[in-house]
A = this chain, B = another copy of it.
């Protein structure tokens, strides 16, 4: 199953009988070999239907544009589908925004450099200069765009300009600035943030302090798509670790860093591999 011949079809539509038969029959008729099929119905009566197919195209009997055209004309309208085919060999461009903490950034760079993330990293942008050397040692361009109260708007515009055409999606790898609406809107469902708590607990600033003060026995980390509302977007992945009264805030942060790295890396991998379908404010992760 080479990435060079792997395509993924993502579908969302109202649930009704016959969808799987129609889609798989269509693909089979074009000599496509399905290697993974996942489907989910939020409710068989009046709910939404979600499907992800991963298939191989070496024996496809028509061109890819012709396949997409045929699917769009023959199958999709019958079921009122939102759909898209992603080709694994069209590597997504990822841009990473980061502030001073390097652990999430390095985890992504490291996994990427060893081939675990099948995407390109077009750039890293930071509001601090500290991580330039670490980033450039991976052969990735680094841009320092300082942010102060007075230049916030200009800084955001400068970032948007850098990203323009160079980012299929954006990862906030512990980026400690809040992105304005005009930044989020064009990248809707394409900005992934790591929040250092088990959302929806401890929204906002300094969640480890909040966790410490509440005296929880488990801490967590949450990767989610960014929406206009702070820390409220669709959750992609979460994980937790057990703590006790022995953990002061520094110890929570230490342990939490390991969670953040793992959770963000898994979420990014799911996004890169086209495993996520957003369903309102929730995600279906196949």
Contacts and interface: CB of A to CB of B under 8 A. Distances in A.
B220 A218 contact: yes
A24 B31 CA distance: 17
Interface in A235-286: 235-240, 244-246, 248, 254, 258, 262, 279, 281-285
Interface stretch (A36-44, A74-82, A143-151): A36-44
Nearest to A17: B33
A103 B40 CA distance: 30
Tell me what chain A mostly uses at the interface: helix, strand, loop, or mixed: mixed
Most buried by B among A42, A106, A116, A214: A214
Interface stretch (A64-72, A182-190, A193-201): A193-201
Given A27-B21, A28-B18, A35-B41, A217 B245 contact: no
Copies, count: 4
A34 interface: yes
Nearest to A103: B114
Given A215-B282, A262-B258, A279-B245, A21 B24 contact: yes
A198 B214 contact: no
A40 B246 contact: yes
A62 interface: no
A214 B200 contact: yes
B216 A238 contact: yes
B240 A218 contact: yes
A14 interface: no
Given A20-B24, A214-B235, A245-B283, 4 more contacts: A20-B28, A35-B44, A36-B39, A116-B254
Interface of A: 1, 17-18, 20-21, 24-25, 27-28, 31-44, 50, 56, 102-103, 106, 110, 114, 116, 137, 198-202, 214-218, 220, 234-240, 244-246, 248, 254, 258, 262, 279, 281-285
24 contacts: A18-B28, A20-B20, A21-B21, A21-B24, A24-B25, A25-B25, A33-B44, A37-B37, A37-B39, A50-B245, A106-B110, A198-B218, A200-B214, A214-B281, A214-B282, A215-B234, A215-B235, A216-B235, A216-B238, A217-B238, A217-B285, A218-B239, A245-B282, A258-B262
